Amino acid sequence: MNKDALLQRIHDAWLVMILRGDTARQTEDSFEAIIQGGGTLLEVPFTTPDACSVIASLRRRHGDRVVISAGTVTDPDQARQAIDSGAQAIVSPNFYAAVVEEARSRGVITAPGCFTPSEVADALRCGADIIKLFPCYPVGPEYIGYLQGPLPGTRVMPAGAITLENMKAYYDAGAFAGVVGVTTEMQLLEAVRERRFDEITACARRWLEHVEGLKQ
């Protein structure tokens, strides 16, 4: 699937679910439960043990039925490892030009974390496909409009305290996609640790139904 098609998939499905598990097995099994609940946009952070094996396993099992991003990528070597493992997007908490350039050179979507207009402009000049607005909670959904005024067409993906209660405000403000933490905003930390997969599946389904309601 080419980059344009992947970007459209991300925009259409909208909700990216990121999960930091204590082990690779815990992370992978919990993502499987999320997929059972309809989740298709999954982010495996590099702070997860053996993140590359999780990425490779999910891609091998599900192929193009899901879009797998590598998250918390902070240097080019991590980006290379993630892409070699099958990551379709490289997501970072900060803007580091070398990471963006590595992803671009491999034809992979890049989403650096930015906060200020200067960071956003620098990332766009470097070729970033999506701007991860992180953390979004200090500025709120109105900030998206402030960024898109002088930088029209910027794909802004807020992350950091996206909830069921404020999701509509971010969607209506023009967010290209939104990132939610499975163990944080979705409040599934204990369910993940205790392998309560039915609970994870049900929660994922509820959040995704909420996203579909935003599009009505």
How confident is the model over 9-39, as pLDDT tens digits? 999 999 999 999 999 999 999 999 999 999 9
Q: In this predicted structure, what is the pLDDT of residue 12?
A: 98
Question: Chain-wide mean pLDDT for the chain?
Answer: 97
Q: Strand order in 113-114's β-sheet? A: 113-114, 131-133, 156-158
pLDDT at 67: 98
Q: How far is CA 72 from CA 1, 105, 167, 210, 212, in A?
A: 23, 19, 22, 26, 27
| Burial of 114 (C-beta count, 10 Å sphere; 0-12/13-18/19+) | buried
Q: Kindly give the pairing relationship between strand 109-111 and strand 113-114.
A: unpaired
Answer whether residue 154 shows pLDDT above 90.
Answer: yes
pLDDT at 215: 87
pLDDT score recorded for residue 126: 98
Confidence band, pLDDT 50/70/90 cuts, at residue 192: very high
Say if CB 70 and CB 87 are below 8 A apart.
Answer: yes
For residue 91, pLDDT over 90 is answered with yes
Residue 1 burial class via C-beta count within 10 angstroms: exposed 0-12, middle 13-18, buried 19 and up: exposed
| Residue that has been written with the tokens 């009505």 in this structure | 216
Q: What percent of the chain has pLDDT over 70?
A: 100
Q: Is the pLDDT of residue 176 over 90?
A: yes
| Res. 157: pLDDT tops 90 | yes
| Residues 6 or more apart whose Cβ sits within 8 Å of residue 140 | 166, 169
**Does pLDDT of 1 surpass 90?**
no
Q: What was the pLDDT predicted at 133? A: 98
What integer is the mean pLDDT of 159-164? Answer: 96
CB 32 within 8 A of CB 60: no
